[in-house]
Amino acid sequence: MEKTDRRILKSKKAIQCTFLSMLIEDGFDEITVKEITEIADISRKTFYLHYVDKYDLLDTIVTQRLQELEVICEQKKEAGFIEGTIIWFDYFAQHKAFFLALFTSKSTVAFRERLLDFMMKQLGEKITERDDKILLRFVSTAVLGIMESFVLNQLNGNTEEIATKVGELMLKTIKEI
Amino acid sequence: MEKTDRRILKSKKAIQCTFLSMLIEDGFDEITVKEITEIADISRKTFYLHYVDKYDLLDTIVTQRLQELEVICEQKKEAGFIEGTIIWFDYFAQHKAFFLALFTSKSTVAFRERLLDFMMKQLGEKITERDDKILLRFVSTAVLGIMESFVLNQLNGNTEEIATKVGELMLKTIKEI
DNA sequence: TTAAAAGTGTGCATTACTATACAAAATATA
DNA sequence: TATATTTTGTATAGTAATGCACACTTTTAA
């Protein structure tokens, strides 16, 4: 593959960095394309050269985040449920401000769906004993719910404690009778 | 005047910032256009779109510095020799790293000439009693010499002490018999 | 001293970005 | 609700920056 023109890389970087700080600072709903481009010091037209709208931009960034997490999961493939859950919670703890902004926004439904899909996909690779769609969705939704409370600081205890407990609950739920 | 294209502003800023840090870090003689453009993350061609070579770039930056100093001098127009000299020395103290790099370079003769010209011009406005070219050059060269030692940290005493002493010497030199 | 390597300055065709303007849509305000 | 204001998304034509190639000069080191 031939390398990308450095102007494209610069424009995208400026847009994404500005978007991220605005997301954490003001929240997704407050963001306008106009302000992104003003702060990023680029023409508004340039934004539309790379992204359809702010939802498309968010989608791109979420994709990057989930790819990051996927790589981490890949590296720790052999981890058990407890350890694996800790890895997840650590990642979300690390990007708390980012996910907090998305969880508290009213117009990021797509983000929640993608997150659930991601979790189901990852957990599906772990729960190989049974091919049980209901079980998979049950567990994934549960973890996603806890993850949201966790990001919203609604849970007591440190990251590892919470993650361990969730890991244990998952094990118990999955275990055959 | 119509405003400048933001791409031009960005390119120039990237080049000048990179140049300044390289100047202070490595010295003028070590700088290559190639490395400037690599660190500034622009095409080498872009450099030549704005500057003839690294000497031209330096010239531009020196001009900016001297214009800054000129504005300061303008604001403190009514200052006497002592106070005026302190203003000068303060300015050089503030940009010591920059001037140090230029004083220690072997290929910045033009810079010295411009600095001497600047001093003669400024002092010429102060020494209005007599129209004495020799006196003017005598005093200017002397001050420039001290300024160089000062920047090179070859003088004892703090900035104000040194500046005051130089101011006094200037007064004594200029004074009619 | 000579060969190799690194840096210079320029030409060229291509591409990304630019300012500006506009109608339509969304949002704020009265 | 009606109206003013802001934001959106797109069109256009012009400009800056790009990558690459080339001959040339300077620097390095063998």
What DSSP string runs through B135-172? HHHHHHHHHHHHHHHHHTT-S-S-HHHHHHHHHHHHHH
Burial category of A36 from C-beta neighbours within 10 Å (exposed 0-12, middle 13-18, buried 19 and up):
buried
Q: Is the CB of B10 under 7 A from strand D?
A: yes
Between A81-94 and A54-75, two packed helices, what is the crossing angle to 10 degrees? 140
Q: Tens digits of per-residue pLDDT, B48-74?
A: 999 999 999 999 999 999 999 999 999
Give CA–CA dist B135/B112, Å, rounded.
19
B154 or B127, which is more confident: B154
Give CA–CA dist B5/B26, Å, rounded.
32
Structure-token match 């340039």, residue found: A46
* A49–chain B nearest CA distance, Å: 16
Domains and CATH numbers, chain B: 1-51 (1.10.10.60), 61-176 (1.10.357)
Taking 80 as the threshold, does the pLDDT of residue B17 lie above it? yes
Predicted confidence band of residue B3 (pLDDT cuts 50, 70, 90): confident
Contact predicate B119/B140, CB 8 Å = yes
Find the angle CA(B123)-CA(B127)-CA(B130) to the nearest 5 degrees: 140
Q: What is the mean pLDDT of residues B103-116?
A: 90
Burial category of B1 from C-beta neighbours within 10 Å (exposed 0-12, middle 13-18, buried 19 and up):
exposed
Give CA–CA dist B55/B79, Å, rounded.
34
pLDDT of residue A107: 83
CB of B41 within 8 Å of a chain A CB? The answer is: yes
CB of A42 within 8 Å of a chain B CB? The answer is: yes
Task: Considering only the beta carbons, identify the residue of A6, A42, A43 that sits closest to B41.
Answer: A6
Residues 8-67 of chain A within 7 A of strand D, judged by CB, are 32-35, 44-45, 48, 52-54
Give CA–CA dist A51/A11, Å, rounded.
11
Between the CA of residue B105 and those of A9, A46, B64, B159, what are the distances in Å? 36, 43, 19, 23
CB of A13 within 8 Å of a chain B CB? The answer is: no
Per residue of chain A (177 residues), what is the pLDDT tens digit?
778 999 999 999 999 999 999 999 999 999 999 999 999 999 999 999 999 999 999 999 999 999 999 999 999 888 888 999 999 999 999 999 999 999 999 888 889 999 999 999 999 988 877 788 899 999 999 999 999 999 999 999 999 999 999 999 999 998 876
| B52 φ/ψ angles, rounded to the nearest 5 degrees | -70, -50
Cβ neighbours of B6 in A, within 8 Å: 41-43
Name residue B43's amino acid: S
> pTM of the full predicted structure?
0.89
Contact predicate A146/A103, CB 8 Å = no
* Listed residue (A167, A172, A127) closest to A147, CA to CA: A167
Shortest CA distance from A38: residue in chain B: B6
Give CA–CA dist B51/B39, Å, rounded.
17
Give CA–CA dist B129/B111, Å, rounded.
29
Other CB atoms within 10 Å distance of the CB of residue B149: 12
CB of B10 within 8 Å of a chain A CB? The answer is: yes
Give CA–CA dist A172/A106, Å, rounded.
34
Radius of gyration of chain B (CA): 18
pLDDT of residue A83: 92
Structure-token match 């510095």, residue found: B65
pLDDT of residue B129: 75
Taking 80 as the threshold, does the pLDDT of residue B1 lie above it? no
Q: Is the CB of A7 under 7 A from strand D?
A: yes
Q: What is the mean pLDDT of residues B75-100?
A: 92
